[in-house]
Amino acid sequence: MSFPLLQVINLKVELIRPESSKSLLQEVNFELRSQELLAVIGESGGGKSLLIKALLKLLPPHFKVSGQIIYTDGNEQPVDLNHLSEKEINVYRRRKIGVLFQEPLSGLNPVLSCGTQLRDAVAFAREVSFAEAHEIALNLFATVGLLEPAAIYCTYPHQLSGGMAQRVALALALAGQPRLLLIDEPTSALDCIARREFMDLIQNLRQTQDLTVFMVTHDFANIAQIAAKILVLYAGLPVEYGDADRLWRQPHHPYTHLLFTTYQTLQKGETVAPSSPKLSDSASSSNGCSFAPRCPVVQDHCYPNFPSYQLLPDGTRLYCHFPLSP
Which residues here bind other proteins, judged by CB under 8 A? 42-45, 161-163, 188-196, 218, 220-222, 224-225, 258-259, 262-263, 266-269, 271-275, 278-281
- Residue 122 CB, shortest distance to other proteins, in Å, is 29
- Residue 249 CB, shortest distance to other proteins, in Å, is 10
What's the burial of 198, exposed, middle or buried (CB within 10 Å: 0-12/13-18/19+)?
buried
- Residue 103 CB, shortest distance to other proteins, in Å, is 11
- Residue 7 CB, shortest distance to other proteins, in Å, is 27
- Residue 225 CB, shortest distance to other proteins, in Å, is 5
CB neighbours of 308 closer than 8 A, spacing ≥ 6?
319, 320, 321
Residue closer to other proteins by CB (options 131, 193) is 193
Residue closer to other proteins by CB (options 9, 189) is 189
Residue closer to other proteins by CB (options 266, 297) is 266
Q: Are 82 and 12 in contact (CB under 8 A)?
A: no
Amino acid at 27: E
Q: Which residues pair with 117 in a beta bridge?
A: none
Q: Strand locations in the chain, DSSP E?
A: 4-16, 21-33, 37-42, 63-71, 79-80, 97-100, 180-184, 212-216, 229-234, 237-243, 309-311, 317-319
CA 143 to chain centre: 22
Gap between the Cα atoms of 170 and 100, Å rounded: 6
Residue closer to other proteins by CB (options 17, 278) is 278
Residue closer to other proteins by CB (options 5, 41) is 41
